[in-house]
Structure 1
Amino acid sequence: MILVTGATSVIGQKLCQLLAENNKAFRAMCRKEEQLEKFRKQGIDAVLGDFENPESLRTAMKGCSSLFLVSAPNENQLECETKAIDVAKEEQIAYIVRVSASDANLRTLVPWAKAHAYIDHHLRASGIAWTILKPTAFMQNFLTMTKPISKGFLPQVGGKGLVGYIDAQDIGIVAYHVLTQDHHKRATYYLNGPEALDMKEIALKISEAISKKVRYIHLPSLAFRILLRTFGASRWLANGLVVQYAEVVAKNHDHDLSEEVYRLTNCQPRSFSDFANEHKDAFLNLKS
């Protein structure tokens, strides 16, 4: 039995879909009653669980032998995920597949990347068999910028930096293969999309998808931080995003492309053009 945390995320939903379609034994963990009921109506075993409530994790893990570990970046991520790993060890979970980040580093100034690095170290030292997935930036991140994009501009601080953006669904597909095969233990996989793009190229691909000119505007870091705060990002998130794009991306520190997604799944990862076409209504800021 596999426990899938983050089951309502894009990654988790894709993983649950594949597990269900292939009749694999799994349990979806979610935080809200309405999510629980939705899973159960689909015939999926589901349980309420919260990373900030270790006892709920303990209950969710009962009877499971494997754990898919993913959580949203927040200020408590390090504490929550390390505790989840500790609970998994106590509950005799034999295998953990974890979603980390390609820029995870103990000395980075990007807060979630630093947290990911410490969690990765904690997992490797836990004595539990593990596989760590390290995706680059998600294509879905651009869905947080639909308001300015719909008005014809993409504001960012990424400069000319290249990133192999990945559709989060492809991470779910990789996770399915890793969790249901026996030869991935003690492996770390860097995951990216099929092409490395800079912000001007991203703007062009969105323009082509929505049949409307979208122009990349390189903002000063302070202006981008203010814009993020205006859009509702917390101070912690806004500061981290500025560092990530102004330091990691704009200064060309993102990792080069690999073909791990294809090697692991025998399918090419989705292109940004495919992603933009699928979400063109969102980029036009149209109500679904």
Structure 2
Amino acid sequence: MILVTGATGNLGQNVVQHLQQHLALNEFAVLARSQSKAQHYLNQGIKVIYGDFDQPETLKHAFQGIDKLLLTSTMEQNRFEQHKNVIDAAKYAGVKHVLYTGLAIRNIQTSAVEDLMISHFQTENYLKNSGLTYTFLRNTMYAEAIPQIIGEQAVSNGLALAGGVGKVPYATRAELGEATANAIMQDGHENKIYSLVGSHAYSYQDIADLLSEISDQKVNYQNLDDSSYMDLLQSIGLPDFLVFLTHGTVCDIQQHQYEVSSTDLEMLLGRKTQSLKDYLTTAYTSNS
């Protein structure tokens, strides 16, 4: 039996969708702390098991009879404590294999968002030291993050960021969800570390050039200095946490932190990843 955590989130929904295409309904289940959020799974005949990352006793019960567990990373401030609860409960319940969705980055110790993202690697270390069979699925930045960072009106307004010439090997959530589902269903991924990154890497200048091609109008990229970019983020009224996260992420791009090269995602998909031009065409023509 396979159990998927985070199934009501964006990545988790893509994982479940792919499992549905290949497995019988009695071969997998989803974990949820709210029946209302998981009601659409119940309506499809998918088993929903109650469990709360902040209540370890619920997890010990939820994980009984589970062979493979997908631990989809959370975005909570106490992320490592939540993940630790999951791993401890998995060991207690006799789960055979835990797969964890982490982060593909070159050096977390020099990341501008180390305080937030270090918990991914703390989780990996804790899982590795637990004695459980593991698979680490280190995800690149979602292509879906591009409109959130450059704005949905980037074609008309242009790009203004402090990204320098740094590049990112973007992949879509659908691709990462499919690859994750394949890793769960297949054998041979035990105690492996995979960097799930796109087939090609793109800078913000590349993105501006692609948007120019798509829209048939010139889209400019203005490479701001760090201080000007921080002022811009604050001027548009973002909450402090989003200012920190967006600024830090773009700084990491500038410092080439996301320039991880790997064919692991291609291996799990059995093909190259979608071109960024195709993704941007869908994302920006649908908004026009």
Which position in structure 1 is the counterpart of 2:17?
17
Work out which of the residue numbers 36, 39, 48 in structure 2 matches 1:37.
39
Aligned ranges 1:142-181 → 2 under 5 Å: 142-145=146-149, 146-149=151-154, 151-181=156-186
Match status 1:87 vs 2:89: yes
State the Cα RMSD in Å.
2.5
Which position in structure 2 is the counterpart of 1:114?
118
Quick one: structure 1 residues 234 and 186, their matched pair in 2 at CA, closer, same or farther if it must change by over 3 Å? Answer: farther
Quick one: structure 1 residues 88 and 238, their matched pair in 2 at CA, closer, same or farther if it must change by over 3 Å? Answer: farther
Quick one: structure 1 residues 230 and 69, their matched pair in 2 at CA, closer, same or farther if it must change by over 3 Å? Answer: farther
Structure 2 residues not aligned, in runs of 5+: none
C-alpha contact (below 8 Å) 2:155/2:211 kept by paired residues: no
Quick one: structure 1 residues 217 and 282, their matched pair in 2 at CA, closer, same or farther if it must change by over 3 Å? Answer: farther
Aligned identity (percent) is 26
Find the aligned partners of 1:154 and 1:243 in 2 and give their Cα distance.
Answer: 17
TM-aligned CA deviation for residue 212 of structure 1: 5.4
TM-aligned CA deviation for residue 200 of structure 1: 1.2
Deviations 1:12-61 (A, max 9, x none): 11210111111241112234433211111122112344322323433432
Deviations 1:201-237 (A, max 9, x none): 1123234445554432323334434544566654344
Work out which of the residue numbers 131, 135, 139 in structure 2 matches 1:135.
139
C-alpha contact (below 8 Å) 1:36/1:47 kept by paired residues: no
Which position in structure 2 is the counterpart of 1:75?
77
Find the aligned partners of 2:19 and 2:230 in 1 and give their Cα distance.
Answer: 40
Structure 1 residues not aligned, in runs of 5+: none
Number of matched pairs:
283
Find the aligned partners of 1:82 and 1:276 in 2 and give their Cα distance.
Answer: 37
Match status 1:264 vs 2:276: no
TM-aligned CA deviation for residue 5 of structure 1: 1.1
Work out which of the residue numbers 180, 185, 190 in structure 1 matches 2:195.
190
TM-aligned CA deviation for residue 253 of structure 1: 3.4
TM-score by length of 1: 0.87
Deviations 1:52-109 (A, max 9, x none): 2323433432321211111333322122112211111112111011111112756244
